[in-house]
Amino acid sequence: MLSSPFPPPQDQAIPVSELNRRTRALLENSFPPLWVSGEISNLTRHGSGHWYFSLKDDKAQVRCVMFRHRNQYLDFEVREGMQVEARAIVTLYEPRGDFQLNVETLRPGGLGALYEAFARLKARLEAEGLFVPERKRPLPSFPRAVGIITSREAAALRDVLTTLRRRMPSLPVVIYPTPVQGRGAAARIAEAIGIANQRGECDVLILCRGGGSIEDLWEFNEEIVARAIVASHIPIVCGVGHETDFTIADFAADVRAPTPTAAAELASPNRVELAHKLDRFAARLARDMQRTLETRMQHLDHLAKRLRHPGERLRQQADELAHWRQRLGQAVQGQLARRRWQLAHLAARLAAARPDLARRRQGLDHLGTRLTRATAQSLAHWRQRLASLEAHLGHLNPRAVLNRGYSIVRNEAGEIVTRASQLQMGETVALTFAVGGADARVLDTHAPTPETG
**Looking at residues 424-433, what average pLDDT do you find?**
84
State the pLDDT at residue 7.
59
Q: DSSP alpha helices (H): ranges in 168-309?
A: 185-199, 223-231, 248-252, 260-267, 271-306
- Sign of the dihedral through C-alpha 241, 244, 247, 253: positive
CA 52 to CA 39: how far, in whole Å? 13
Least confident of 136-140, 230-234, 278-282, 445-449: 445-449
Coil, helix or strand at residue 51: strand
382: pLDDT confidence band, cut at 50, 70 and 90?
Answer: very high
Q: How many of the other CB atoms lie within 10 Å of CB of 400?
A: 13
State the pLDDT at residue 419.
83
Q: pLDDT of 187-197, one tens digit each?
A: 999 999 999 99
CA 223 to CA 225: how far, in whole Å? 5
Nearest Cα to Cα of residue 174 among 136, 210, 200: 200
Q: pLDDT of 313-365, one tens digit each?
A: 788 888 899 999 999 989 999 899 999 999 988 888 887 777 777 788 888 88
Q: How many of the other CB atoms lie within 10 Å of CB of 439?
A: 8
The separation between CA 391 and the C-alpha centre of its own chain, rounded to angstroms, equals: 102
Cβ proximity of 206 and 235 under 8 Å: no
Cβ proximity of 420 and 447 under 8 Å: yes
- Across all residues in the chain, what is the average pLDDT? 86
Least confident of 5-9, 112-116, 211-215, 417-421: 5-9
Q: Is the pLDDT of residue 293 over 80?
A: yes
State the pLDDT at residue 111.
59
State the pLDDT at residue 2.
46
Coil, helix or strand at residue 219: helix
State the pLDDT at residue 403.
74
pTM metric for this prediction: 0.45
